[in-house]
Structures are given as C-alpha cells and as structure tokens.
Amino acid sequence: MALPKYTEPHYRIWHYVYLTICAAVFFFLVAPLFVIFPLSFNAEEFLVFSDGMKRLDPDAFSLRWYQDMIYGTKNPWGLAAKNSFIIAIFATIGSVILGTVAALGLSSRHMPYKGLIMAVLISPMIVPLIISGVAIFFFMAKVGLAATHTGIVLAHIILGTPFVVITVTATLSGFDHSVTRAAASLGSDPVNTFMKITLPLILPGVISGGLFAFVTSFDEVVVVLFLAGLENTTIPIQMWTGLREQLSPTILAVATCLIILSTLILVTAELLRRRSERLRGINR
C-alpha cells in the first residue's frame, strides 16, 4: 500500500490515519483473545495480573489451573469433554451426510421450488437460537428425547446442516457436470460416479462444511441448556455455569485449550478453502 510519490500532504496524512484506524480495529478484534493465555497460568486465584506477573517472576506463574482442569475432583470437565466430543462427532456425521445429499439435489438445475426449499433448510442458522431452543425442546420432550445424547445430537444436526448445505452448494456451483456425464457414458452407475468422481472433487467443501458443523455443535450452549440433563453436560454448559457463578482461572485454562483447538480448525479450514479454489480454478 505504498503511496505514489505525487500524493498531496493532506491525503498522505489521511492515509496514515486510515491505517491507524485499521490497526486499532484489528487490535480490538484479536487482543481480547490474548488476555486469556497469560491469566490461565496465574499462580493466584484472581483474574487480574498480579504484581509478580507484571515483573515476570517465575513464581507468579503455575500450571495449577490446568491440573485442576484435568484432575480436579469437583470439576466435571472430563465428563463434559467426553460428551462434547461424542455429541459433536455424531452431529457432524449426520449434518454432513444429510447436508451433502441435499446440496447435490439443490444444485441440480431441475430442482423445483429451489428458493423456498433453500430458505427452509437455511432457516435454523437465521432463526434466533433461543427460539430454536424452545421449539426443539418442545419437540424432544414430546418424543421423549429430552436429556438424552440422541436428542442433543439431533438438535445439533438441525443447527449444523445449513452450514454444510451452504458450503457444499458453493463448491458445486463451480462444478463441471460434464465429468459425471462422462462417467455415466462410460458405464458407471450413479453411486459409483458420486463416490469416485463427484465426492473427491467437492471434498474440500464437504470437509469445511463439516468443520462448521463440528464447531457449531461443540460451541452450542443455548439449545443444550434446554435439552441437557446432568448426565449430558457439555463443555459450553460447564463454561456457562462457571461464568455465571464464579469466574475461576480453571475456566481460563479450558478457554486456552479451546482457543488452541479453534486455531487448528481455522488453519485446516483455510488450507481447504485455498485447495478448493485451486481445484475449481478460481484465481484470486
């Protein structure tokens, strides 16, 4: 963003003001996340930087909150983590299968009422979570699935499929349908064509949709608050209770782990997006 030599002074000043504003906004976006790291290593129980931490005194730092997270007897983080992963994995599998198949139908040019159906399928993403929570709770209570893993998994499939539908339809929009016709003309049946030709080509979209579905489920708290019993507690529920009652450094230890997890997911998603753009020949 170097300025040309002939730029007049007041535009030059304006340009630096603009860059400063941008820097401030980026700082506002990212900085809050980095408060959590150092405080999770605090040796004391308070959520402020102690004097020792400001002097970088090694004694002021400790891993006790991480120990508490893993071995603490009062903390159900172990159960919560297990539940969260089980629920998120099954919800992701369900969302990916249902969403991908639906996206295949939706990107066919023969699909009737495309706009209306798309609007219905995407709606769980748009409707406020509290309303989804109430509605899904009424349904699950009626069919006897409240306070079960199955109920929560189904709820998260509802919330996760819109992301899969969106990412996979986006991938399919640049899809060259002549390759499937070529496969068919060479005698391949539709299932075989899908598995051998279509799926490998749209895989980046499918996986990134799956990542969205996973994160949605793993981070979801509103609907689970309605559905979960004591046995079904998840990481977000534990964090929610913790944040409401007392903000303890153990929560920050958990939060640090979650930030690391989301960084990993972000990197994967970014790599996939770029690969997908390369495969579809979009040069940006």
The window from 57-65, 68-76, 137-145, 195-203 that contacts other proteins (CB under 8 A) reads 137-145
132 part of the interface to other proteins, by CB under 8 A: yes
Q: Are 210 and 95 in contact (CB under 8 A)?
A: yes
Rounded Cα distance between 218 and 89, Å, is: 9
Contacts with other proteins: how many residues (CB under 8 A)? 93
Question: Minimum distance between the CB of residue 186 and other proteins, rounded to whole angstroms?
Answer: 20
Q: Which residues are paired to 42 by β-bridges?
A: 61
Per-residue tokens: 162:
């819109």
Candidates 195, 199, 243, 282: give the one binding other proteins (CB under 8 A). Answer: 243
Residues of span 253-272 touching other proteins by CB under 8 A: 255, 258-259, 262-263, 265-266, 269-270
172 part of the interface to other proteins, by CB under 8 A: no
Q: Are 200 and 166 in contact (CB under 8 A)?
A: no
Q: Are 126 and 88 in contact (CB under 8 A)?
A: no
Candidates 161, 171, 217, 233: give the one binding other proteins (CB under 8 A). Answer: 161
Candidates 60, 70, 106, 147: give the one binding other proteins (CB under 8 A). Answer: 106
Q: Which residue lies nearer to other proteins by CB, 22 or 182?
A: 22
Rounded Cα distance between 266 and 8, Å, is: 41
Start-to-end CA distance of the chain, whole Å, equals 18
Per-residue tokens: 96:
């990916």
Question: Minimum distance between the CB of residue 73 and other proteins, rounded to whole angstroms?
Answer: 23
Per-residue tokens: 220:
């979801």
CA-derived radius of gyration, the chain:
24
Residue 232 backbone dihedrals phi, psi, to 5 degrees: -100, 20
Residues of span 107-126 touching other proteins by CB under 8 A: 108, 110-112, 115, 117-124, 126
Candidates 166, 213, 227, 228: give the one binding other proteins (CB under 8 A). Answer: 166
99 part of the interface to other proteins, by CB under 8 A: yes
282 part of the interface to other proteins, by CB under 8 A: no
Residues of span 32-91 touching other proteins by CB under 8 A: 32-33, 35-36, 39, 46-49
Residue type for 70, please?
I
Q: Are 186 and 114 in contact (CB under 8 A)?
A: no
135 part of the interface to other proteins, by CB under 8 A: yes
Candidates 13, 22, 179, 282: give the one binding other proteins (CB under 8 A). Answer: 22
Residues of span 177-236 touching other proteins by CB under 8 A: 208, 212, 215, 218-219, 221-222, 225-226, 236
Going by C-beta distance under 8 Å and a sequence separation of 6 or more, which residues neighbour residue 59? 43, 52
Question: Minimum distance between the CB of residue 118 and other proteins, rounded to whole angstroms?
Answer: 6
